[in-house]
Amino acid sequence: ALPLTTITAWELLFDRLRVLDNAAPSQGTLLVVGAAGGVGLAAVELGKAAGARVIAAASTQEKVDLAIRHGADAGVVYPAGPFDKDGAKALAGLFKEACGPDGADVIYDAVGGDYAEAALRSIAWEGRFLVIGFPAGIPKIPLNLTLLKGCQIVGVFWGAFTARDPKANQ
146 located within any domain: yes
CA distance 122 to 1: 30
97 located within any domain: yes
Give the helix ranges, DSSP H, for the chain: 2-10, 38-49, 61-69, 85-99, 113-120, 144-149, 158-164
170 located within any domain: no
Residue 49, domain extent: 2-164
SS3 state at 79: coil
73 located within any domain: yes
29 located within any domain: yes
* Average pLDDT across the chain, whole number: 86
169 located within any domain: no
CATH label of the domain that carries residue 128: 3.40.50.720
pLDDT tens for residues 51-107? Answer: 889 999 999 999 999 999 999 999 999 999 889 999 999 999 999 999 999 999 999
Number of domains in the chain: 1
pLDDT tens for residues 141-155? Answer: 999 999 999 999 988
Sheet with 74-77: list strands edge to edge: 74-77, 53-58, 29-33, 104-109, 123-131, 152-155
- The pLDDT confidence band at residue 25, using thresholds 50, 70 and 90, is very low
